[in-house]
Amino acid sequence: MVCFSGALHKEGEVTAFDVEKCTGCGLCALACPFGVVWTDKLAHKCDLCQGRIEGPACMATCPANALSDDFELAVRRARERSARAVALGGRR
């Protein structure tokens, strides 16, 4: 885990966020392969609408059905994007 302050931490299979521990360093936003962590002096992380009975609002409203709660699929897509970036001369 990239968070030195413990603000981002594992709770079972979910990565949870504790705003009280966040130092705002931004390392989490740089490291997140899914783009769901961002900073505004303090970091924010998508919690997949944990309080919403119907599930994540973004998944329900995406007109292209591009969003999924299939973790393996998300990891596979992130790795494919990374491989394409490297092939095009991006990060190594």
Residue 16's domain comprises: 8-87
Number of domains in the chain: 1
Residue from 60, 54, 35, 55 nearest 45 by CA: 35
Give the predicted TM-score (pTM) of the model: 0.43
Say if 1 falls within a structural domain: no
Question: What pLDDT does 59 receive?
Answer: 78
Task: Please state the rounded mean pLDDT for residues 47-67.
Answer: 78
Say if 58 falls within a structural domain: yes
Using one digit for the tens of pLDDT, what is the confidence trace for 18-55?
A: 888 888 888 888 888 778 888 777 667 778 788 888 87
Question: What pLDDT does 42 receive?
Answer: 65
